[in-house]
Amino acid sequence: MTTTNPGASRPGSDLLWPAEPAAPVRRRPPRRSPLAAVAAMPRRGLVGVLIAVILVVEIYPLFWLLTSSFKTEDDFETQPLWSMPQHFDWHNYVSAWQTAALGQTALNSLIVTLVSMAIILIVGSAAAFALEVMVWRGRRSVLLFVIGGLMVPTQLILLPLYTIYYHAGLTNSLFPLIITYVGQGLPLTVFLMATYFRSVPLELFEASALDGAGIFRCFFSVGLPLVRNGIYTMAMLLFFSIWNDLLVALTFNTQPSLATVQVGLLNFDGQYGQVSYGPLLAAICIIIFAMLIVYALVNQRVMKGLTAGSIKG
């Protein structure tokens, strides 16, 4: 029972460590620590400074990116870095669009992301329904078996998958990406959707079955609408993780016409020795501000999804 860890000073260990109140005991008046003195400083001023620091740290890099993306090579060499561009030069954007093949890569990324998402959500919630709502022996073990997939890092499965796709002749299409993302997304989706189904009273399904609904109606008309919050949360999680992924996209990328946005961005990297600033920054700018629009549309749901689990306790 005795422990040598001072951090764990608990009953039994107070023989070794001087008794230190684990919870605050009534002590009056509270001693003035230096920290309390700082806190007593013009509080409003301190809070203002902290907010200003946060704003600068978060916004300045993006602001610099935006202004720099309009600069010409000349501006970079002759003007100080924080100066505004001499004139707004759209040339960088034209050249960025071409170098990163943004039209093509954005289309590829969009196809891969949306198709994978749709398959994961349908197949994953169906499996979660079978594992959580339907009654049969062995469902617990199967659920654990699927959740175990969360422990498998991507690196472990890449090489055999490459071999499989190579022999199946799939390497010249977007299929390898879609199949891999679906496999990777399933364990978390099944796990999350199962917890959502668990919170639905089983009587609801029994009642609708009694009213003559078949099992597919139970799933599509009763189950899915009740867990739609889970589906929204999972959809956003999947969207960002698949859209932003590089490792899988790079591994299975065999030709430029199949590249995703992230792979296309690497085209700027020193292909001709010197990297030209303007077009690269313009390409990053397009990608980041496109994400800003997506984020503005869904951020409330993202926050809700992240906080929901823990509020439920």
Partner 1 sequence: MRHILGNRRAVLAFLAPALIIYIGVIVVPAVWSLVYSFFQGAPAAGFSYVGFANFKHLWTDPTVRSSLEFTLKYAIVLIICQIVFGYLLALFYLFVLKRSSTFIRTLVFFPVVLPPVAIALLFNKLFAISPTVGPVDSVLHLFGVGPVDWFATGSGAFVVIIVMDLWRSAGFYAVLLYAGLLDIPAEVLESARIDGASGWRLVQHIVVPLSKPIVVASVIFAINADLKVFDSIYALNNGGPGVATTPLNLYMFETSFLYNDYGYGAAIAMLITVVCLLGTVLVFRSSRREVAGAH
Q: How far apart are the first and last CA of the chain?
A: 31
Give start and end residues of each alpha helix (H) in 199-260.
202-210, 215-217, 224-226, 228-244, 247-251
Helix (H, G, I), strand (E, B) or coil at 213: coil
* Stretch of 16-24, 90-98, 110-118, 226-234 lying at the interface with partner 1 (CB under 8 A): 16-24
* Stretch of 88-96, 110-118, 224-232, 303-311 lying at the interface with partner 1 (CB under 8 A): 303-311
| Cβ contact 185:231 at 8 Å | no
Kindly tell me which of 87 and 311 has the beta carbon lying closer to partner 1.
311
Distance CA 123, CA 9 (A): 49
Distance CA 193, CA 280 (A): 40
Any contact of residue 54 with partner 1 (CB under 8 A)? yes
Contacts to partner 1 from residues 251-290, by CB under 8 A: 251, 261-262, 265-266, 268-269, 274, 277, 280-281, 284, 287-288
User: Which residues does 105 contact at the CB level (< 8 Å), separation at least 6?
Assistant: 259, 260, 261, 263, 264
| Structure tokens, 294 | 């997506």
Any contact of residue 311 with partner 1 (CB under 8 A)? yes
**Number of shown-chain residues binding partner 1 (CB under 8 A):** 117
Closest C-alpha among 105, 100, 96 to residue 279: 96
User: Residue 29, preceding bond cis, omega within 30 degrees?
Assistant: yes
Q: Which of 72, 95, 195, 244 binds partner 1 (CB under 8 A)?
A: 244
| Structure tokens, 14 | 């107070």
Any contact of residue 313 with partner 1 (CB under 8 A)? yes
CB 1, min distance to partner 1, A: 9
Q: How many CB atoms lie within 10 A of CB 179?
A: 18
Any contact of residue 80 with partner 1 (CB under 8 A)? yes
CB 94, min distance to partner 1, A: 19
Any contact of residue 82 with partner 1 (CB under 8 A)? yes
Kindly tell me which of 43 and 228 has the beta carbon lying closer to partner 1.
43
User: Is the Cα torsion angle 115, 121, 122, 127 positive or negative in sign?
Assistant: positive
Contacts to partner 1 from residues 115-174, by CB under 8 A: 123-124, 126-127, 129-131, 133-136, 142, 146, 149, 151-164, 166-167
Kindly tell me which of 10 and 198 has the beta carbon lying closer to partner 1.
10
| Structure tokens, 142 | 């199967």
Any contact of residue 52 with partner 1 (CB under 8 A)? no
| Cα R_g (the chain), whole angstroms | 27
Q: Which of 47, 84, 107, 168 binds partner 1 (CB under 8 A)?
A: 47
* Stretch of 24-32, 84-92, 110-118, 226-234 lying at the interface with partner 1 (CB under 8 A): 24-32
Interaction pattern, residues 176-195, with partner 1; x per rule: CB under 8 A: ---xx-xxx-xx--x-----
Kindly tell me which of 47 and 94 has the beta carbon lying closer to partner 1.
47
Can you give the length of the chain in residues?
A: 313
Kindly tell me which of 103 and 148 has the beta carbon lying closer to partner 1.
148
Contacts to partner 1 from residues 97-116, by CB under 8 A: none
| Cβ contact 104:257 at 8 Å | yes
Q: Which of 174, 218, 235, 282 binds partner 1 (CB under 8 A)?
A: 218
